[in-house]
């Protein structure tokens, strides 16, 4: 090789090396930016000792929560905002709207790559599903909580938070809708439900299975949720300050129809029946539900049973009575979808279509 050729090869190689170094260093400076929106719950709870079950929700700051998670700052640049501070039994539509609006402000920013919402587990599925319908971005939004307070022996919050941030920074999480990460499992907002009052392994997605598995920042994805959500959703709460009242009436043997009438008389615009079996109720309650539907209150038949779908016109003549069947949605998620559906005038048949697509 001539000397001049040797020089140009050397220059070429040094260029490759310098480009390589540049991308490695700019990759480092491009560590994803995650915003944690904290709302309270057991993940931020503290008890007097490591073994007592009594604790106070929302006693721990976001910084203290993040500091309790070794290595998490290697995954992302993390900023925190306290949006609310409640046990999620006190979660309200007002707080859900506040969280949704803040997410919709943050996600369009170039320097925000994903959101993690810390939340109590009691109503986490409801907030997750609400956000799934009203967030206008395909960047990751991940809800996380814990079953044990931060002070407990073997608190589950730190690993859950690590995994939630690991999922929020993963480009493969984009476009999957709102996700929930608990106990190493990644759930779709549409499918998960709380199944145990106290077990760490409480959340299941019994009908559709998991979206994937999270393991210390390494994630496996199995299933993309098939329903409409986020960027494909028609629901927009940017100008909404209040959601229509929708009540849930629980079905049982010898169910009292009075609760349905009371709901109507107290101003409900929609009623979800957590019916027995395939969304059934006794004759007296069917009559009350039909009275409600005739007054323009939208009645959705869901089920108190954990597994299975509620189908139209199976044992109840939905076409004649003017009811909606919830399909896969449990009563608490049916209530969220129905409240959003009632934000504008819609025919019962159009609301039924929403239950098939969301």
Q: Would you please indicate which residues are annotated as catalytic (active-site) residues?
A: 42
Contacts of 115 (CB under 8 A, 6+ apart): 34, 35, 36, 37, 103, 106, 107, 139, 140, 141, 142, 168
Cβ nearer to ligand ASP, comparing 127 with 263: 127
User: CB 282 → ligand ASP: shortest distance, Å?
Assistant: 32
Cβ nearer to ligand ASP, comparing 112 with 182: 182
Q: Which of residues 123-182 bind ligand ASP (CB under 6 A)?
A: 145, 147
Q: Which of residues 188-227 bind ligand ASP (CB under 6 A)?
A: none
Taking CB under 6 A as the binding criterion, the range among 73-81, 103-111, 119-127, 152-160 that sits at the site for ligand ASP is 119-127
Q: Are strands 193-194 and 203-204 parallel, antiparallel or unpaired?
A: antiparallel
Backbone angles phi, psi at 79, to 5 degrees: -120, 150
Contacts of 68 (CB under 8 A, 6+ apart): 150, 157, 158
122 binds ligand ASP (CB under 6 A): yes
Cβ nearer to ligand ASP, comparing 120 with 212: 120
d(Cα 135, Cα 238) in Å, to the nearest integer?
Answer: 10
Are 148 and 154 in contact by the 8 Å Cβ rule? The answer is yes
Residue nearest to ligand ASP (CB): 120
Cβ nearer to ligand ASP, comparing 87 with 158: 87
Among 42, 132, 263, 285, contact with ligand ASP (rule: CB under 6 A): 42
User: CB 240 → ligand ASP: shortest distance, Å?
Assistant: 24
Residue with tokens 């697509």: 357
d(Cα 110, Cα 253) in Å, to the nearest integer?
Answer: 55
Half-sphere exposure of 95 (CA within 13 A, CB side): 23
Give the residues lining the site for ligand ASP (CB under 6 A): 41-42, 57, 87-89, 120-122, 145, 147
């Amino acid at each position: 090789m001539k000397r001049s050729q040797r020089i140009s090869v050397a220059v070429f190689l040094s260029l490759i090396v310098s480009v390589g170094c540049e991308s490695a260093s700019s990759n480092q400076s491009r560590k994803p930016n995650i915003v944690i929106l904290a709302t309270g719950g057991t993940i931020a709870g503290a008890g007097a000792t490591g073994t007592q079950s009594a604790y106070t929700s929302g006693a721990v700051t976001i910084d203290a929560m993040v500091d309790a998670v070794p290595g998490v700052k290697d995954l992302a640049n993390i900023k925190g905002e306290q949006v609310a501070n409640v046990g999620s039994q006190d979660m309200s539509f007002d707080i859900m709207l506040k969280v949704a609006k803040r997410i919709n402000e943050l996600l369009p920013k170039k320097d925000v790559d994903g959101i993690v919402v810390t939340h109590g587990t009691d109503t986490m599925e409801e907030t997750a599903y609400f956000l799934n319908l009203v967030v206008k971005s395909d960047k990751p939004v991940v809800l996380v909580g814990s079953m044990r307070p931060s002070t407990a022996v073997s608190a589950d919050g730190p690993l859950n938070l690590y995994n939630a941030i690991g999922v929020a920074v993963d480009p493969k999480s984009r476009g999957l809708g709102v996700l929930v990460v608990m106990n190493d499992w990644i759930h779709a907002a549409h499918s998960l439900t709380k199944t145990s009052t106290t077990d760490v392994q409480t959340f299941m997605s019994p009908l559709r299975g998991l979206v994937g598995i999270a393991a210390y920042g390494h994630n496996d994805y199995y299933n993309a949720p098939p329903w409409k959500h986020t960027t494909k959703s028609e629901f927009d709460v940017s100008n909404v300050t209040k959601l229509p009242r929708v009540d849930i009436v629980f079905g049982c043997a010898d169910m009292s129809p009075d609760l349905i009438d009371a709901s109507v008389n107290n101003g409900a615009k929609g009623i979800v029946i957590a019916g027995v079996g395939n969304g059934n109720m006794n004759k007296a309650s069917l009559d009350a539900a039909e009275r409600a539907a005739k007054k323009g209150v939208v009645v959705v038949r869901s089920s108190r049973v954990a597994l299975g779908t509620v189908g139209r016109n199976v044992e109840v003549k939905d076409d004649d009575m003017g009811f909606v069947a919830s399909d896969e949605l449990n009563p608490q998620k049916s209530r969220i979808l129905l409240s959003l559906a009632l934000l504008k005038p819609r025919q019962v048949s159009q609301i039924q279509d929403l239950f098939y697509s969301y």
